[in-house]
Amino acid sequence: MDEVLSAAFAAKEPWAFDDAYQRYGSLLYSAAYQVLDDREDARDCVQEALARVWRSPDSYTRARGALRSFLVVCVRNEAITRLRAKTRRLRVVERVAALPQEHAELGDVDVIERDRLRAALATLPAEQRRPLEMAYYEQKTHTEIARELDQPLGTVKSRIALGLRKLGAALGGGR
């Protein structure tokens, strides 16, 4: 059965994606969870890795080995990438969190840094800027933001992550 599934997955047969997920989903989740130590992030990681493999033409061929092993490596690599990105985001978050709230003007705050952050935030598209402002200025959780904006939690997390990457790039060169 593995041979049939591998051949069908390589040929992008629609049923093969579902079967691969059904057969290997628990294993893939375990691989992601071991790296990320977060249930929700591990689930997102598995879905993203499988979707990326499925969307990419010729990403899997039977010459690459067993489908099961290939998918585990893809998920593990995605998990490691997410963990590294999370570490980078945390550095930016720490910088953002150290800044005063939007409406609280404190006299001893580094005005130049605050202005740099505001300028960088202003360059972000509204769909990335608004969730970031809600998270860091209004102290809301990702779940609260998703509910308020009536958007899926994964979308909110992705937009915050992308916004933080852009802020990190914009702010990184000035220190």
Q: What is the pLDDT of residue 34?
A: 95
Residue 156 confidence class, pLDDT cut points 50, 70, 90? very high
Q: Which of 143, 142, 158 is nearest to 44 (CA)?
A: 158
Does residue 74 lie in a domain region?
Answer: yes
| pLDDT value at residue 145 | 92
In this structure, the answer to whether residues 154 and 80 fall within a common structural domain is: no
- What percent of the chain stands above pLDDT 70? 91
26 and 70 in contact (C-beta within 8 Å)?
no
What is the extent of the structural domain holding 137?
99-172
57 and 127 housed in the same domain:
no
Q: What pLDDT is stored for residue 117 in this prediction?
A: 84
Task: Please determine, for residue 174, whether its predicted confidence score (pLDDT) is greater than 50.
Answer: no
- The reply to whether 73 and 116 lie within a common domain is no
Residue 99 confidence (pLDDT): 65
d(CA 8, CA 12): 6
Alpha helices in 37-152 (DSSP H): 39-55, 67-98, 111-123, 126-136, 142-149
Do 108 and 168 fall within a single domain? Answer: yes
Tokens 């570490």 correspond to what residue?
Answer: 87
For residue 121, give every residue at least 6 positions away whose Cβ sits within 8 Å of its Cβ, in sequence order, or none: 129, 132, 133, 167
Pairwise pLDDT comparison (151 vs 98), residue with the higher score: 151
Split at pLDDT 50, 70, 90, the class of 146 is very high
Q: How confident is the model at residue 111 (pLDDT cuts 50, 70, 90)?
A: confident
Query: What is the structure's pLDDT at 100?
Result: 59
Convert the pLDDT of each residue in 50-106 to its tens digit.
999 988 878 888 778 899 999 999 999 999 998 888 888 777 777 777 765 554 444
173 has a pLDDT exceeding 60: no
Helix count (H) and strand count (E) of the chain?
A: 8, 0
Which amino acid does the sequence have at 171?
Answer: L
Condensed to tens digits (0 to 9), the pLDDT of residues 18-61 reads: 999 999 999 999 999 999 999 999 999 999 999 999 888 788 88
Structural domain total, the chain: 2
What pLDDT does residue 155 have? 92
Can you tell me the distance from the alpha carbon of 14 to that of 150, in angstroms, rounded to the nearest whole number?
31
- The rounded distance, in Å, linking the Cα atoms of 111 and 131 is 23
32 in a structural domain:
yes
- Is the pLDDT at 112 greater than 90? The verdict is no
Cα 173 to Cα 168: distance, rounded to the nearest angstrom: 9
For residues 76 and 134, state if they share a domain.
no
In sign, the C-alpha dihedral spanning 14, 20, 22, 25 is negative
Report DSSP state, residue 108.
Answer: T
